[in-house]
Amino acid sequence: MESKDNASTEGFIPFGKYRTYYRIVGEKTKKPPLILLHGGPGSTHNYFKVLDDVATLSQRQLIMYDQIGCGRSSIPDDEPNLYNANTWLDELENLINYFELKEFHLLGQSWGGMLAIMYLCDRNEDKIKSLILSSTLSSAKLWSRELHRLIGYLPANEQQAIKHAELVQDFKEKQYLEANAHFMNLHAGTAFPNSKKEIVKGTKAYMVAWGPNEYMPQGNLRNYEYTEKLTKIKTPTLIISGTDDLSTPLVSKVMADAISNSKWHLFEGSRHMPFVEENIRYKELLTSWLSNLV
């Protein structure tokens, strides 16, 4: 299921005194487009380019963008208070209104899935044809607890380095950095070389909103707890994760159990980016899901 015929357009959307960079793949059709929300906070749209084929395969547009504080969008690092859920929810709503979307599918990866969950639970579910939650979470507490469980499988010296860093709140020591890199390689995967520069641009957003690493949420999203709210979601939902994912099987199962109209697909051996590591199978799964819902 491969296609190279993927025309794309890009531009900027006004968002208050800032601007949001967007990229649209494919021609406009009668089918609702798919909006893709990247992770982080602080990552970029770049890694979603490996899904460009889905535009042709499902005969619909893909709309991806860099969230404020990330990539090619405005990066007001001198106004860190902007880096919070409400800003990014307002930005998503602004994008939907700008393109006058009456109906669309919504895919959120990692933090993007958190953003999608908050949008459906706290803003508006009406226009959303379906929800795809890819390697994400509904509880910061459960996420942290599960990742600390995984840390327990690291070599003793790496466990100690991480424990010490958490205790003294120093995340610059060589031993910690090496241990954290090993952990992330086991469960997250590596960054794309051509997008590393853009991802670095979003470091401030990540630190302010989430924290120093994946397993210590200390930022303004540290109290993100939406598991009980998930029962409000009636939109058809596809949950995707990997067996070796930061979004552990337990984290994903909690969401699948809470959302009544949901389906969960688990990629064996995949880490935090099954859309990269299982790219062809992921595209087949996503295309089938979208096509069945029109």
Q: Per residue, what are the HEC states of 248-267?
A: CHHHHHHHHHHCCCEEEEEE
Report yes or no: 18 and 74 within 8 Å, Cβ to Cβ.
yes
Asked if 43 and 199 count as a contact pair (C-beta separation under 8 A), the reply is yes
Dihedral angle computed from the Cα positions of residues 197, 201, 204 and 207, in that order, rounded to the nearest 10 degrees: -40
CA–CA distance, 126 with 124 (Å, rounded to integer): 6
Strand-pair category, 237-242 with 128-134: parallel
The residues annotated with a catalytic role in the active site are 110, 245, 272
What does the buried/exposed string (b/e) look like for 226-244 if buried means 16 or more CB atoms within 10 Å of the residue's CB?
A: bbeebeebebbbbbbbbeb
Q: Which residues, in sequence order, are CB contacts of 218 under 8 Å at separation 6+?
A: 210, 211, 212
- What is the 3-state composition of the chain as percent helix, strand, coil, each rounded to the nearest 5? 45, 15, 40
